[in-house]
Structure 1
Amino acid sequence: MKVALLSDCYPPRLGGIERQVHDLAHHLGRAGHDVEVFTATTGPLGERHGLRTEEQDGVVVHRMALRLPGGVPVNPVAPREVRRRLLAGRFDVAHAHLGVVSPFATDLVRTTQGLGLPVAATFHCVLGRWAPAFRATGHLRRWVRHGAALSAVSRMAAGQVRAVAGGAEVGVLNNGVDAAWWAPDPHRPGRAPGEPVHVVTAMRLVTRKRPLALLGALHEARAALDPAVPLRATVAGEGPQRRAMEAYLRARGMGWVAMPGRLDREGLRALHHTGDLYVTTARLEAFGIAALEARAAGLPVVAPAGTGVDDVVEDGVDGVLADSDAGVAAAVARLAADDVLRNRMRNHLRDSPPRQDWPGVVAATVAEYRRAGAT
C-alpha cells in the first residue's frame, strides 16, 4: 500500500507527534508499505518549499515549510503543490496526524478528500476547552460525511473526538513502542540493601505537564515514608519551568531530586533501567508515550486516572492510577516502602510486554486504512 502521512510537525522538531509519525513511517516501511511524509517542518539542513525531498531508510519526506520566525510549521499555500504530488504519486491512502492546532494537516485532509483519496485522521491531543470550537466549525462531521475514518490515540481522546464529530465512529489507535528495545536487562542485579529506591520521570518542563505538582507529590511521598527508607528521584527534561522547579527544590531541601536535563532515547532507557518506579502528575495526556516507554522498560507507573495513560496501565497490575495528586504521592510512598508489591509488578511487566508494540500498532493502523476505504 502506498501511504501519504500528513503532519504539521516532524523531526528534527521534538515532541510526541513528531516522534510517533517518524516511527510509524519507518515501521510501515519495514512492513512492506511505500511511505511518503508531507510536513510543514523545516529539514535539518534548512530544507523547505518542497524544493528537495529527502529519503531516510526508504521513507521520502516532502518538506513543505516556509521561512517563518522560529520555524513555525505553517504553510497555507502548500495544498496546491501537495495535491499535484499526491496525484503524481498514485497513493492508496492519506493519514493525517492532528493536534489541537494543525492547520497544515487540516488543510490537506480537505485536499486529499477532494482527490477522492481515502483518508484516515488520527488525533493526538486532548480537545478539552477547544471542543466547542471544533464542534462549531463542523469540519470533523464534514470529513466523516466524505468517508474519513477518524481515530484518536486513546479511549479518553477518542471519546472527546466522538463528541464533537456528532457521534461518529472513532477508532482507538494507540501510539507505538519498540518493546524489545526498551525491555529491562533480565540479568540486572536487584537493588542492594540500603540503596535508595529510585523514582524516575521524563517530561517537557512546561506548565501543562504540571512539573511543580510532581515535585509536590515527591515531597509528600518523602514525608509519608519511614525515614529509614532511602529515596531518590530523577526528573529528566528541559523547559521554561526549570528555574521554578530548582527554586522549589532549594526551598524544601530536596537535594535527593536530580534534574539532568533532556535525555535522548538511549539516555532515557539507561535511566529507566536504573529506576524502580515511574511517576507523572500530568492530567492533559492524550496518550502518555513517556509512561508507555517506562512501562516497556519494566517500571511500575504511578499516574492520575482518567487520562490516556489508562490505555497503558492497568491499576494495581502495571502500577497505580490515582484520583488526585495526594493519591499519586500516597502511591509513590506505598510502592517505595513495599519491596514485595513493587517487585511483583516489575516481574509482571518483565513477563508481559505492552500490547502497543509496533507490529500490533502497524496492523491496527492498516486496519484503519481499510476502514477509510483503502484497498
Structure 2
Amino acid sequence: MRIVHVSDCFPPRTGGIETQVSDLATYQVAAGHEVHVLTGTLGPDGERGGALQDVRGVQVHRLGARMPFELPVNPRGPHLITQALRAVQPDVVHVHAGVVSPFAYDGARLAIAAGLPTAITWHCMLDGIAPVLHRAVQLSHWRTVPAALSAVSSAAAERVSAVFEGQRVDVLPNGVDLDRWAPRGDPDRADRPGERGPLRLVATMRLAPRKRAVPLVRAVAEAARRLPPDRLRLTVLGSGPARGAVQAAVEDSGLEHLVDLRGQVPREQVRATYEDADVFLAPAQLEAFGIAALEARAAGLVVVARRGTGIAEFVVDGVDGLLVEDDDDMAMAIVRLARDGALLDRMAAHNRSRRPDFGWQRVLRAAEVEYERARSLVGTH
C-alpha cells in the first residue's frame, strides 16, 4: 500500500504528534508499505520548499518555509501539497490534526477534493473551540465529509463527535515499543523491598503552559509540606518556553534540594530515569492520549494523572495508578503513595508484570481498519 501522512509537525521537532507520526510511518515501512510524509516542518539543516529526504525508509517531503518562530506553515503549502499528491498517487492519505493545524487541514481538503481515500486523526482535545468548529462544520460541506474520522482516545473522540455531529468517529490509539520500555529484571520482584526511602517522582513533558509544569511543582510542594523532610524527590525531563517559570516555582517553593530539572534528554536516558523512579506524574488537563505516561506505565511506574484525559485509556484508578480531580487531589495522591507502601508496591508489581495493550501491532491493525473505511467512503457524498 502507498500511504501518505500529512502533518504540520514532524522531527526534528519534538512532541507527541511528531513522535507518533514518525514511529507509525517507520513501522508501516517495516510492514512492507511505501510511506511518504508531507510536513510543514523544516529539515534538520533547514530543508524546505519540497526537499525530499529518506528517514529510516520513510520518504519525507519538507514543504515548509522559513517563518517567524519556526512555525510549520507555508503560504505556498496548498500548491506544494497538490503537487506531492499528484506525484505520489497514494492509495490512502492519513491526516494528523491538532487544535491549530493549517497544513494538515489543507492536506485533508485537497486530498478529499482529489477523490483520494482520506483518514483524519485528531491528536488533541477540542475543549473550548468545539462549539465554534461545530457551527463551521454544519454550515459547510464538512457536515458530511467523506473521510474516516478518528481520535487517539475515547476522551478526544467525544470532542470530535461533538463537532462532526452524526458522523462516525473511531479511536485510533497511539502506540509504543513495549519491548523497548519493558521493566528490566524480574517483573515479580518488589521495587524496593523493606525500604521506605524518598518517594521518587518523575514527569516528562514539554515545558509549556498547557502541560502545567508550574502547577505540578506547586502540587509537589504541597505534598512535601504534609510529609516528613526529604520524603520526596522529583525529576522533570523536558524543555520549553516555560522553563524559567518552572525554575522560579521551584525556588519560590523552597524545593531546590528536592527537584531536578534535567532538561531535554534522549529516549534512552528517559528509559534509564524510569528505571530509578517510583511514580510518574501527569498534571495536564487536556491530555488527548499521554504518550509519556504510557511509556512510563509500560516501564512499570505507577501513574498519577488527571481524570477525564486520554490517560484513562490505559490507567485504571487503583490498579495501574491513581486518577485525580485537580491539583489539590494530585498533592494528596502523592502523600498517599508516600505513606502507603503496600498500595505503591501492589500497583508497581501489577504494572511490572502486565503490559498495557498499546503495542505497535495493535496500532497498525487499527490504522488499516481506518484506511479500509476511508476507501469505502470515496464517492459516497
What's the TM-score, normalizing by structure 2? 0.92
Partner of residue 80, structure 2: 81
8 Å CA contact 2:97, 2:124 repeated in 1: yes
- For residues 125-154 of structure 1, the C-alpha deviation after alignment (integer angstroms, 9 at most, x for no partner) is 111111133123218973462420100111
**What is the match of residue 253 of structure 1?**
254
Change beyond 3 A, Cα 1:312–1:194: closer
Provide the rounded CA distance (Å) in 2 between the counterparts of 1:108 and 1:139.
20
What is the aligned partner in structure 2 of residue 334 from structure 1? 336
Q: Distance in 2 between matches of 1:319 and 1:140?
A: 43
Partner of residue 224 from structure 1, selected from 196, 205, 226 = 226
Unmatched segments (≥5 aa) in structure 1: none
Q: Contact 1:176–1:361 at 8 Å: present in 2 too?
A: yes
CA distance 1:144–1:268, change in 2 (3 Å): farther
- CA-to-aligned-CA distance 1:106-137 (integer Å, 9 cap, x gap): 11111111221110000011111111331232
What does the per-residue CA deviation read over 1:75-118, in whole Å, with 9 as the maximum and x for residues that have no partner? 24233333233233231100000011111111111111122111
* Residue aligning to 2:315: 313
Going from structure 1 to structure 2, the CA distance change for 1:251 and 1:85 (only over 3 Å counts) comes to closer
What is the CA distance between 1:29 and its match in structure 2?
1.1
- Match of 1:220, SS state, is helix
* Fraction of identical pairs, as percent: 47
CA distance in 2: counterparts of 1:140 and 1:312, whole angstroms: 37
Q: 2:206 aligns with which of 204, 207, 211?
A: 204
Aligned to 1:17: 17
Q: Which residue of 2 aligns with 1:45?
A: 45
Q: Deviations over 1:244-286 (max 9, x none)?
A: 3323322332121111112221111111111011112210111
Which secondary structure state, in structure 2, belongs to the residue aligned with residue 138 of structure 1? helix
Query: 2:174: which partner in 1?
Result: 175
1:265-313: CA deviations, max 9, x gaps? Answer: 1111111111011112210111111111110111010011011111121
The residue type equivalent to 2:48 in the other structure is R
What SS is found at the alignment partner of 2:367?
Answer: helix
Which of the residues 356, 360, 363 maps onto 1:361? Answer: 363
Whole-angstrom CA distance in 2 between matches of 1:92 and 1:25:
15
- 1:250 partner letter: E
Deviating above 3 A after TM superposition, structure 1's stretches of 4 or more consecutive aligned residues are 139-144, 187-190, 192-195
Equivalent AA in structure 2 for residue 303 of structure 1: A
Residue pair 1:76, 1:104 contacting (<8 A) in 2 also = no
Asked whether the 8 Å contact 2:176–2:359 carries over to 1, the reply is yes
Q: Secondary structure at the match of 1:129?
A: coil
Asked whether the equivalents of residues 141 and 165 of structure 1 are also in contact (C-alpha less than 8 Å), the reply is: no
Instruction: Please tell me the root mean square deviation across aligned C-alpha atoms, in Å.
Output: 2.0
2:254 maps to a residue whose letter is G
AA at the equivalent of 2:141: R
Partner of 2:89: 90
**Residue type of the alignment partner of 1:44:** P
SS at match of 1:360: helix
Q: Give the Cα–Cα distance (whole angstroms) in 1 for the partners of residues 340 and 184 of structure 2.
A: 22
Aligned counterpart in structure 1 of residue 217 of structure 2, from 211, 215, 218 = 215
Q: Quick one: distance in 2 between partners of 1:56 and 1:20?
A: 14
- Gap runs ≥5 in structure 2: none
- How many residue pairs match? The answer is 373
User: In 2, are the aligned partners of 1:141 and 1:166 still within 8 Å (CA)?
Assistant: no
- Cα distance in structure 2, aligned partners of 1:216 and 1:169: 41
Q: How far apart in 2 are the matches of 1:132 and 1:218?
A: 35
Secondary structure of the residue aligned to 1:128 is coil
Q: For residue 72 of structure 1, what is the amino acid of its counterpart?
A: L
1:300 alignment counterpart = 302
Aligned pair in 2 of structure 1 residues 79, 220: CA closer, same or farther (>3 Å)? same
Matches within 5 A, 1:114-125: 114-125=113-124
- Separation in 1 of the partners of 2:43 and 2:240? 23
Q: Secondary structure at the match of 2:224?
A: helix
Distance 1:194 1:81 in 2: 59
Give the partner amino acid of 2:122.
F
Q: TM-score when scaled to structure 1?
A: 0.94
- Equivalences for residues 17-166 of structure 1 within 5 A: 17-50=17-50, 52-138=51-137, 142-143=141-142, 145-166=144-165
Q: Check whether the contact 1:134–1:140 (CA below 8 A) recurs between aligned residues.
A: no
